[in-house]
């Protein structure tokens, strides 16, 4: 295993085409669940110049104006006027009632053990959860810094009228003896208004002051005199957004999870209701891994869970601690199996996922669609709670 290396992670702004699709998809999930907590919904989007394609399958008596929801998200993302405009973009829809996955008829909170066992996984997935002691969030440093940089780029639009909604950032971190030692490089790709674009020197000065400095203000690891700072290194990034490159729901899985520092299942997280084990399984695996690290049983921990169609319980639970565990990995896995219930209905019950959208004025799942679905300190996510630490130690 290499001890010294450089690792990079990227993040994107909420206006990036892929994230725009994720946010529309999850806004639809939120709206259905706010009206009907037991709805079954699958929502997927694709965007390109002037066009949004929305495919939604649902089982619910709720009737929603889905194109209007999409236009709200597009407008909130900053796409007002221009080649991709919230008011005038064409929206093509393919909407259908789900017949193979009917609406959930019984509240998971009311199920006894026999009832929980009777709710199987309806999709096959191997989900991975990861945690490590590199940051207070128990996340890898590169993705935490990348998200901070992308958020700062998004906020800078309030002060820089020539900055467009689409942006991408990358942070490279140098590791020594497998510990983060310094920021090797920072790259920022910011879409610019072609009619008001700044001169290169103005662009660099503004983004250093309003993006890079604020992003690293509270970070333990900051750029140093030798850190390479790259701002639009390929030249002017004009227009951006769907007018420049297409977007799809579920394309940014690494950004949603661990920035490729750890494994993820490859299944999209956004656009799926709480009955989808490929979504909630990723949250449950993160919950277990984070509590293991917080309990002091490992410095780094990956939890692998595999479900098969037709069975409620995972058919596999594997723990990898990368040589950092204080107990054998088999013992840690046994403790996880004893403390956590990974049956789909039990996960929904533990996280109360059917009711969270109605309690949030901003929507619940839509807030996850940008800047990570795990490791968030700005949201009170149930899978980020350290509520099983003592039980795991015992």
Domain count across the chain:
3
Instruction: Tell me the C-alpha distance between 215 and 201, whole Å.
Output: 20
User: Which domain-ending residue is among 226, 245, 264?
Assistant: 245
Q: 378: domain CATH number? A: 3.30.300.10
Answer yes or no: is 255 within a domain: yes
Whether residue 148 sits in one domain with residue 79: no
Instruction: Tell me the C-alpha distance between 273 and 51, whole Å.
Output: 25
User: Which domain-ending residue is among 229, 245, 261?
Assistant: 245
Asked if residue 36 lies in contact with residue 60, where contact means CB atoms within 8 angstroms, the answer is yes
Answer yes or no: is 204 within a domain: yes
For 18-33, the pLDDT digits (tens) are: 999 999 999 999 999 9
Q: What is the pTM of this model?
A: 0.96
Whether residue 81 sits in one domain with residue 60: yes
Whether residue 229 sits in one domain with residue 256: no
Count of residues making up the chain: 394
For 172-196, the pLDDT digits (tens) are: 999 999 999 999 999 999 999 999 9
Whether residue 208 sits in one domain with residue 74: no
Whether residue 269 sits in one domain with residue 214: no
Position 1 scores a pLDDT of 63
Answer yes or no: is 216 within a domain: yes
User: Which domain-ending residue is among 245, 268, 289?
Assistant: 245
Whether residue 376 sits in one domain with residue 254: yes
Stated as kind and residue range, the H or E segment containing 115 is helix 113-117
Whether residue 257 sits in one domain with residue 361: yes
φ, ψ for residue 360 (rounded to 5)? -110, 125
Whether residue 370 sits in one domain with residue 274: yes
Answer yes or no: is 301 within a domain: yes
Domain extent at residue 209: 5-12+141-245
Whether residue 298 sits in one domain with residue 235: no
Answer yes or no: is 120 within a domain: no
For 202-236, the pLDDT digits (tens) are: 999 999 999 999 999 999 999 999 999 999 998 88
In Å, what is the CA distance from 237 to each residue of 193, 197, 200, 218, 259? 9, 10, 11, 29, 24
Q: What is the pLDDT along the chain (394 residues), one digit of tens a residue?
A: 678 999 999 999 999 999 999 999 999 999 999 999 999 999 999 999 999 999 999 999 999 999 999 999 999 999 998 889 999 999 999 999 887 777 787 899 899 999 999 999 999 999 999 999 999 999 999 999 999 999 999 999 999 999 999 999 999 999 999 999 999 999 999 999 999 999 999 999 999 999 999 999 999 999 999 999 999 998 888 888 999 999 999 999 999 999 999 999 989 999 999 999 999 999 999 999 999 999 999 999 999 999 999 999 999 999 999 999 999 999 999 999 999 999 999 999 999 999 999 998 889 999 999 999 999 999 999 999 999 999 999 8
Whether residue 383 sits in one domain with residue 255: yes
Answer yes or no: is 41 within a domain: yes
φ, ψ for residue 109 (rounded to 5)? -65, -20
Percentage helix, strand, coil for the chain under 3-state DSSP, each rounded to 5: 35, 25, 40
Whether residue 379 sits in one domain with residue 274: yes
Answer yes or no: is 264 within a domain: yes
Instruction: Tell me the C-alpha distance between 46 and 126, whole Å.
Output: 26
φ, ψ for residue 132 (rounded to 5)? -155, 165
């Amino acid at each position: 295993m290499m001890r010294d290396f450089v690792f990079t992670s990227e993040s994107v702004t909420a206006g990036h085409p892929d994230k725009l699709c994720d946010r529309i998809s999850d806004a639809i999930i939120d709206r259905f669940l706010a009206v009907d907590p037991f709805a079954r919904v699958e929502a997927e989007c694709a965007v390109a110049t002037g066009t949004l394609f929305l495919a939604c399958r649902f089982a619910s008596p709720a009737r929603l104006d889905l194109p209007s929801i999409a236009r709200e998200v597009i407008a909130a993302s900053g796409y007002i006027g221009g080649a991709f405009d919230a008011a005038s973009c064409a929206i093509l829809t393919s909407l259908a009632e789900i017949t193979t996955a009917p609406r959930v008829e019984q509240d998971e909170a009311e199920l006894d053990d026999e009832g929980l066992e009777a709710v199987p996984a309806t999709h096959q997935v191997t989900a991975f959860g990861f945690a490590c002691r590199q940051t207070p969030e128990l996340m890898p440093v590169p993705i935490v810094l990348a998200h901070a940089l992308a958020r700062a780029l998004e906020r800078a639009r309030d002060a820089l009228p020539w900055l467009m909604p689409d942006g991408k950032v990358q942070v490279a971190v140098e590791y020594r003896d497998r510990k983060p030692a310094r920021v090797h490089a920072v790259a920022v790709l910011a879409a610019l208004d072609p009619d008001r674009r700044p001169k290169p020197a103005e662009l660099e000065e503004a983004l250093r002051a309003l993006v890079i400095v604020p992003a690293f203000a509270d970070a333990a690891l900051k750029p140093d005199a030798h850190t390479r700072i790259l701002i639009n290194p390929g030249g002017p990034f004009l227009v951006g957004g769907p007018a420049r490159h297409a977007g799809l729901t579920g394309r940014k899985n690494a950004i949603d999870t661990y920035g490729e520092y750890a494994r993820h299942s490859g299944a999209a997280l956004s656009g799926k209701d709480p009955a989808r084990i490929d979504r909630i399984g990723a949250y449950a695996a993160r919950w277990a891994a984070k509590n293991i690290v917080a309990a002091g049983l490992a410095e780094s921990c990956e939890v692998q869970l595999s479900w098969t169609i037709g069975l409620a319980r995972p058919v596999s639970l594997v723990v990898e601690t990368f040589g950092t565990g204080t107990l054998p990995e088999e013992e840690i896995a046994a403790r996880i199996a004893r403390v956590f219930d990974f049956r789909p209905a039990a996960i929904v019950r533990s996280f109360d996922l059917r009711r969270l959208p109605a309690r949030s004025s901003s929507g619940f799942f839509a807030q996850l669609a940008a800047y990570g679905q795990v490791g968030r300190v700005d949201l009170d996510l149930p899978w980020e709670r350290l509520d099983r630490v003592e039980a795991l130690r015992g």
